[in-house]
Amino acid sequence: MSDAGAWIEDRRAMVNSALTKALELPSESDPGGLREAMRYAVLHGGKRVRPLLVLAACEAAGGTPKMALPACCALEMVHAYSLVHDDLPAMDDDAERRGLPTVHVEFGEANAILVGDALLTEAFRVLARGAVGVAPAAMAEAVVRLATHAGIDGMVGGQALDLAAGQDLADLGELEQVHALKTGALYAAAGALGALCAGAPTEQVAQLEEFGMSFGVGFQHADDVLDDDQPKLRAQAKERMEILLATCEQITDTFGDRGEPLRGLTGWLRARARDAAAGARFE
C-alpha cells in the first residue's frame, strides 16, 4: 500500500463514527446508566485493529467499507465486552485501561458485569441487522462465525486456558493454543466477517479467516514481548512471528491489488514486532 497510514486513519475514522452512532444515547431513560457505561467502554480509545481487519478483508474480497461497518461495530463491541470482564477483580484486577479508570472502577463491579453482558448482546443485534447490499444468508453465517470465535471454542475458551496456564509456560505449542483462542479467534472472525460481507466464495472466506488467525497470533506474540510475558519462550516466539507474517503475506498476494489494505496491516504488525523486540513501548 502506497500510504498504509492514510488508509488506516481513514478507515479508523469510519469505524469510530459508526460506533458512536451505534451507541447513541436515546432520549428515553438509561437503566442504571448502562448505556453511558457502554459508551465509556467502547469509545474512549482503542486502535480498532480488529475492525480494520474486517474492512481490509471486505475490500480484498471486492466489497466496500460501508458493507462491513455493522460487522466492524459488532466485533469491536465483543472485544470491548471482553476487556471489561477481563479487568474485573475476579480476573486480571486492573484499575486502569487506556489511561482511564477501568469500567468497574468508574461505574462499579456489578455494573461492569452488566455492561459486558449488554455489549455482547448488542453486538449480535447490530451484526444480524447487517448492511444494505449484504445477503441475509451471509449475515446469518457471520453470526455463526462470530459466536464460534467469541465463545467456548474461541475467545472465552482461550481465557479459561490462560487462567489455568499462568505466566510460566515452557512449550510454544501450548502457548500458541492459548493465543489462537484468546486473541487469534477474534482476528479470525474479522477476516471471515469481512469476506462474508463482501459476498466472497467459501474458499476466500476460509483464506481470510486463516489470515486473521495468523495475524492475531502474531499480534499476541508481539504483545508478549512488549509486556515481558512468557520469558522462557521469547526467542521461539520471535521466530514464530516471522512465520506467521509470511503466511499473511502469502495469502495477501492471492488478492492482487485488492489486497493492499491487508498488506498495509501486515506491514504495521511487522513494524510493531520489530519495535517490540527492540524494546519500544506502545499504548
In a domain, 158, yes or no: yes
Q: What does the chain come to in residues?
A: 283
C-alpha cell at 9: 486513519
- pLDDT for the residue 279: 61
> Could you tell me the CA-to-CA distances from 184 to 34, 93, 215 in Å, in that order?
29, 23, 7
Half-sphere exposure of 72 (CA within 13 A, CB side): 30
Give the model confidence (pLDDT) of 93-151 as tens digits. 999 999 999 999 999 999 999 999 999 999 999 999 988 889 999 999 999 999 999 99
Give yes or no for residue 276 having a pLDDT over 70.
no
What is the pTM (predicted TM-score) of this model? 0.94
The percent of residues above 70 in pLDDT, for the chain, comes to 93
CB 158 within 8 A of CB 180: yes
User: What whole-number distance in Å separates Cα of residue 274 and Cα of residue 258?
Assistant: 26
pLDDT at 239 (0 to 100): 85
β-strand partners of 22: none
Assign 1 to helix, strand or coil.
coil
Is residue 23 one of the residues assigned to a domain?
yes
pLDDT digits (tens, 9 = 90+) for 10-34: 999 999 999 999 999 876 788 889 9
pLDDT in tens, 61-103: 999 999 999 999 999 999 999 999 999 999 999 999 999 999 9
Q: What is the pLDDT of residues 182-228, one digit of tens each?
A: 999 999 999 999 999 999 999 999 999 999 999 999 999 888 776 66
Q: What is the pLDDT of residue 1?
A: 45
Structural domain count of the chain: 1
**Residue 111 located in a structural domain:** yes
pLDDT at 226: 67
d(CA 65, CA 137): 19
Q: Is residue 50 part of a domain?
A: yes
* 43 inside domain: yes
User: Nearest 5°: phi and psi at 96?
Assistant: -145, 140
User: Residue 184, Cβ neighbours under 10 Å: how many?
Assistant: 27
Q: Give percent of the chain with pLDDT exceeding 90.
A: 75
CATH number for position 215: 1.10.600.10
Q: Is residue 143 part of a domain?
A: yes
pLDDT tens, residue by residue, 136-146: 999 999 999 99
Is 48 part of a structural domain of the chain? yes
Q: Where in the sequence is the domain holding 180, given as residue range(s)?
A: 4-277
Does a structural domain hold residue 283?
Answer: no
**Cβ contact 275:236 at 8 Å:** no
